[in-house]
Each structure stands twice: as C-alpha cells, then as structure tokens.
Structure 1
C-alpha cells in the first residue's frame, strides 16, 4: 500500500485528478454520523482485504478508498480491474445489530444506496442486477441515428458489490464503480462506465460523497427496522430498480447445476424467486445470473 501523494507515470492524467481526502473527511465524518474514519491510498491490492484485516481494531463506519486496486475481487473470486483514478474503489466496515437471517439484504441495500446516490450526483440511469451488480445503459450506434430517432441501449455492468464477514461481528462491504473508463479501456465487452452512459458529472469527490451519504441513510433505516426489508423500504426500492425481475434468466448454481426460468420476486431473505419450467418456483440464494434475451 502506498500513500496518496504518488505522482508521475500513470498518475499524470489531468482528466483524472486525485480524490481530495481532507474535503471528503470534512463532508462525511460528522458527529453522530455513521462514518467514523476515511482513508484514501494511492494503490493497494484489495480494499476489502485491507479493511477486513483491521476489523477488530476499528469501529463501525471505517471507510477505505483506493485510487487504484491491483487485486480487486468480485463474487466467485473474479478480478476487478480498472485504470488508476478511473473509478470509485472502496470498502466500508459495518457491524449491523440485526437478525442473522436478514444479513443477506446488506449487499442488496448497498446496491440501492449506490444507485440512488449516483442517479442524483451523476445524472445517469442505473439499474440493479441481482444480487450485486450495477448496470448502465450505453447508447448503441448513436452516431448513426437519424433526426428524431431514439438510440438503442445496451445493458452493461458498471459496478459490483462484495460483502464479506470480518472478525466476530463485522461485515466489510466493497464497492467498485467504473466512472470515467473510455471504450478502449474496458476490461471486457460487457463492461460499461458512467462516462459512456452519458453521466453529466464524473467528479469522483462528488460521486463518493453522494454514495456514502446515501448508504448511511439506507443502512440507518434498515438497522432501525431491525433489518426488516419491507419496513425499511429496501425491498420496495430494490424491486423498483431491479433489471432482473420479470426477465427470463439462467442461474448457474453451486454444484454445477443450472436453472432457467422467469425471475419473479425476492423473498424475505433476499433470495431470487424463479418460476421453473415445471410450473413451480425455486428460491436462489447464491449463483451467477445471466439475463437471457426475449424470444419470439
């Protein structure tokens, strides 16, 4: 891990200034607020790993942000890579006092909070893919449109969430969001960024403040409701923004099992309820979800 004062080389992109740590701290570390500390490092392997290693000595609300992650991780141990200062790469330490069976709502809640904050601050439409992805719509062939035509949108992943147990009572929630990646910088064809989705702002200081303030609000409401997704409003918000619900999907499940059907709803534990081919339903708690194209 290095300090945030690194300069030269890959740090010299004037379109990607460093985060302003002192301003962020003044804006976010408030009396009686959730966030207790905020550190920004120039580069590290994984903010989740770094924060989890210190979970026992830190209070709830610690925030760690990296300008660059060299070993960022997503679900199923997938890597998350992006150029330095091109996105938001952060982890937060939470210690929710809620029933254990409701902890599965924490990454879903984080998705709602991130989407809510980014819509307001970036002016780009985002949707949620169950269980932990943030999607944007990238205009396709917009340069070939005739006057009055609406561009066809292509759904792309612009962010991901990873929640991991840390210590006796902590959960580290990691969030990665592609902010200013250009088309030639995308790691895979299915990736996107706020810039490519037409965001009106890619100022990372503004976006980070918006995301963390939104997360504090949603998390606070959820904890006060004892983790109840309906009473806290999380269920309604997630359902409204979820691009998976109502779609035909394929779920690649543990044990090399595959399930196809229509995503109907979320149950009380945050699992995805799928209508199966035989006329029944199955609740999926973990798996890799693929949105299938409509036929006919």
Structure 2
C-alpha cells in the first residue's frame, strides 16, 4: 500500500502542471500592446527597414515549425510513457527492424526541412538582390578596430577610432547600398534593427541593400570576433530626414573630410601611431 503522503504528493503533480501551463498562456493577455508586439517578434527588435520583414517572418516561421515538432515529439513521449509503462516483471515485446517505422522516421523530417530550406533560399535571394539602383551608396570598411564610412555619392567620409565611435547617417525612405570590405581580418557588419548581417572579408567584397523606413538612433556592431579590441567595434546609426542628412554631408565637407579614404592597414589608434614598417604585426 502506498504511503498516504506520497500518494497525495503524486495526485498534486497534474494540478501543478496545469497551473503552470495556464499561467504561461494567460501571461501575454495581461501585457500591454507594445509587449504583445514584442512577443509576436520572438525577441527580435522593432524592424527599421522595408526588407526586415523577410527575415522576421522567416525567424518566426522557423520557431513555429520547431514548436510544432516539439509538441509532436513531447506528445509521443508522454503517450509512450503512459501506454507502455511497466505493469509487472514481464519484459515487454521488443520491436526490431520495423520497416514502416523506420520509413516514417526518414520521411517525417523532410516535411520540416524542405519547406524551411525553400523559404530560406527564396528570402535570401530577395534580401541579397542588389540589381536595383540605390539612392545612396556607402563603402563600409571594417578594420582593427573600428569602421570607415565613405559616402560615395557625396564624396565625403567619416573615420572611427578605437576610442571614438563613428556615426553612420542614412536618409529615411531611401535605398542604401552597403559595399563591405576589410584590409585585415574578417569582421561582420550588423545593425540589429535592420535584421541583416553580412561578413566583411579581406579581399572579397560583399554588398547588400536596405531601405530604412523608420527614423531613429540605433547601434551597430561587429558580430564576428576579430581580435582583442573586438568590443570597440561599435558605431552609431542615425536615420534622419533627407534635409538633415544633407546638412550632415555639408558639415563633413566643412570639416575637411572630403574624398574617399582607405583605412589604416592595421588598427586606428588615438594615442599611439602605427608602425609603417610593421603593418601586419600585433600589439
């Protein structure tokens, strides 16, 4: 005979599980509209470009597919535990070389992998399509350890240093092409609210285009560990009206930051000049 305390404890387990599940389902109902919007993006920040939904929808869709597979697997596990639980000392029937089940194990994952693969390739082709002529071209150069922004159409530039973050100005509502390059190691150009991230390879230029559709101040960063001062490779992004963007370009001209420049071969320091005889050395 089971101990009464243990029996009572076991009887409370389903009640506790039900309470936890009901609490988890009821939690979003008590959130504000902004919080529910955050939940709908599944941890992604609020998008700031016209192209961001292509990535956001793929992200949410992948989570929905993963949850569906998880629910199915958890359900089968629970069903097997209950239906085939031990009922005595007799060894249950062993199943080996079950062709239908093995066929199901092979076929079922394809119904998940093939749609995800197709949607990924389709969205990737749309996101990386740069055949449309942009309104603005920015040559982005990542180096140890900061960024240079060359505004090609305006013939001005801004250089960042390890101590001073550069600011990238973009006009709202205009398509921008980022031409990415590096003179030293692999970096990764990432503005989280743009959802798009692309590696910056030495000797192998990359490019992508986005159309900022929301004014605001954002933070960009390098998403590839590139050296001991990787954490310094942050930059500010200002998406502003066209008039303010033009004013900023004029300010760069007045400051003498005209022309398109190449960054130092290795690093950009405020407090110590680079050794021109040792461009590839380590600090």
Instruction: Output the TM-score relative to the length of structure 2.
Output: 0.19
**More helix by proportion, 1 or 2?**
2
Structure 1-normalised TM-score? 0.19
Choose between structure 1 and 2: higher strand proportion: 1
Give the number of the structure with larger relative contact order, counting CA–CA contacts within 8 Å between residues 6 or more apart: 2
